Amino acid sequence: MSRFLRWAFLAVVAVVILITAAAAALPYLIDTPRVQSLIAANAAHALGRPVTFTSMKVTVFPRPAVELRDLAVAEDPRFGPGPFLTLERGVVRLRLLPLLTGRLEFGTVVLKKPLITVVQDAEGRFNVATLRASSEPRTASPGRSRSPGGPAAAAALVPRMRLEDGAITYVGGGAGGKASRARVDGVDLTLDGAPGAITFRGAARVKPGDVAVKVTDGSLAISPGRPLTDGAVRGRVSLDGKDVRELVAAVAGPSPVLDAGIKGTLALAGTLGSPRASGDVELLTVSVAQTSPRCPRPKERTLKLQNVKLSLAWDDGQLTVRSLTTGIGHGTIVTKLVVPLDRVAPVQARDLAIKQLPLQIVLVDFLCQGYAVTGPLDLTGALTAQAGDLWHTLAGAGQFRIGAGKVVGSEALATLENVTRLGGALSGLVAGEKPVSLFASPLDFESIAGTFTIRNGVVTTRDLVYTSRPMKVTLAGDYALVSGRLDFDVLVSQGRREIQARLTGTAASPTVRIVPASVVRGIDRDKVQSGLSELLKKFR
């Protein structure tokens, strides 16, 4: 070995020994209280919240770092006692070369198992919106230069931050003090600080349920002296899950049960405090199940839908479905939805268009409605309702037509049977004929059509027309969806014969009263009064 190589080798060995000795001496050379104060003060100034931790330890291998235990970031008192963030262990890596020259510079910060609570109050304000730099000037501490505060300073202070196996809990304040909760687990997020921006990427799983969320190409613009929530945010979010049942139950309640997979991609925009998102999402293999006491066995019924395709937009705390398409059997459903997540404003279904929807599948097989009919449904209109109280708050208007089908619901059959039997019997009494029934069960019809309005769960129609070969029935009145209360004027026409009736009571126990004058026009009432009274008793 030449003399030069020997000296070069000895020099390298000496440098390695010196670096190793310096690294081993780091725990004794670092001013631990000063580092602890520096970390806490800068973090608190950047976030505008008190930052505490119970202990700190300096480690050397595999690289110099400061380990923090039981770190906590306080909550804004306006959103509760907090804390906003807690974590078991935080690791702040230190840059070696600056340390050897007596300077303290931070490298990557790793937050292990952080727990973050995002709170939204009843007015729609988020607790993260108050994360901001302190407005008070800071005095430089001895031994270090004054550093700027705020998010920009935080980005400069920490070039990279990683969240490992974290969790984010969302708590939303709803109407009447009711709170909604959702949780995102397994959060792995990497944030890289750069002048004027933070870039981020990561993945998580939404709970309840099991929906994977992946964030790519994320960026957040930051400005000195401005709240972090004012920064413009960009990125792409992908969704992928096999089952959203538990997630839907947490938002909309346990019944009915929605089984579906989910897949989609959303683009992020807006600011961190007021984010926007838009894109396309598809629900796969969709089925809705519920248990109904009115159904014969089996009590639990399932309705299968074609894949639900949604074009979504999220803005200002409101979810807008710019286009929703699905189908049942050979029928199609198209609409636009507005879904405020504060549960105060109603859900809106706009431009609702239903074509050739097979009512047999919905009304008979799934809902087991007592007033069920078969036949293809065409409907246009608009509806609104509160998510937590659908039937009491349903409102809207529209028009519909049901093509050729049958009346198969037992309650509807009984009502029509009573109207027409009583009318036919009265006519027969006046004419001296034997009473006859106008139809057999089930009742065939050519069409049912009309317009409707709904207010607070009460359906009103003034022109519902039931048309069949032997007769035409016109109804005008109200039907309460929850109680089943009926209040209708009924006109039954058969050829030149017309029968007027009042339909009251409930859907389960209707009362039909014929208007005698509509049957015995031109006949001496006294002449048939006794016979009419006896006849009416038979149909009460």
Amino acid 346: pLDDT: 87
Which tokens in the block code for residue 289? 């199940």
Q: What is the pLDDT of residue 151?
A: 47
pLDDT of residue 145: 38
pLDDT band at 332 (very low <50, low <70, confident <90, very high): very high
pLDDT at 404 over 60: yes
Q: Where are the domains of the chain?
A: 406-537
Across the range 249-262, mean pLDDT stands at 82
pLDDT at position 416 is: 64
DSSP per position, 332-354: EEEEEEEEETTSSSPEEEEEEEE
Ranked by mean pLDDT, which of 61-70, 433-442, 527-536 comes out on top?
61-70
**In this predicted structure, what is the pLDDT of residue 159?**
77
Residues facing residue 205 across a β-bridge? 185, 212
pLDDT, averaged across the chain: 78
Least confident of 227-241, 420-434, 460-474: 420-434
Tokens of 120: 């939204």
> pLDDT category, 20, cuts 50, 70, 90?
low
Stated pTM of the model: 0.72
Residue 294 has pLDDT above 90, yes or no: no
Question: 3-state SS string over 220-270?
Answer: EECCCCCCHHHCEEEEEEEEEECCCHHHHHHHHCCCCEEEEEEEEEEEEEE
Q: Give the residue-averaged pLDDT of 446-466.
A: 96
What pLDDT is stored for residue 279 in this prediction? 97
* 118-122, 323-327, 365-369: range with lowest mean pLDDT: 118-122
User: pLDDT class for 501, splitting at 50, 70, 90?
Assistant: confident
pLDDT at 441: 45
Q: Which of 86-95, 137-146, 249-258 is most confident?
A: 86-95
Please tell me whether residue 469 adopts helix, strand or coil conformation: coil
Residue 37: the pLDDT is: 74
What is residue 327's predicted lDDT score, i.e. its pLDDT?
96
Could you tell me the pLDDT band of residue 97, with boundaries at 50, 70 and 90?
low
Q: Does residue 349 or residue 521 have the better pLDDT? A: 349
**Is residue 236 a contact partner of residue 224, using CB atoms and an 8 Å limit?**
no
What is the average pLDDT across 363-388? 90
pLDDT at 136: 43
Q: Is residue 106 over pLDDT 60?
A: yes
Pairing state of beta strands 405-407 and 331-340? unpaired
Average pLDDT over residues 301-313: 95
Most confident of 66-70, 429-433, 435-439, 516-520: 66-70
Cα-Cα-Cα-Cα dihedral sign, residues 438, 442, 444, 448? positive
pLDDT of residue 421: 57
More confident residue, 217 or 492: 217
CA distance 331 to 376: 8
Q: How do beta strands 233-241 and 211-221 pair?
A: antiparallel
The confidence band for 333, taking pLDDT boundaries of 50, 70 and 90, is: very high
What pLDDT shows up at residue 540?
A: 45
DSSP states of 15-74 as a string?
HHHHHHHHHHHHHHHS-HHHHHHHHHHHHHHHHTS-EE-SEEEEE-SSS-EEEEEEEEEP
Average pLDDT over residues 234-248: 90
Q: What is the DSSP letter of 425?
A: H
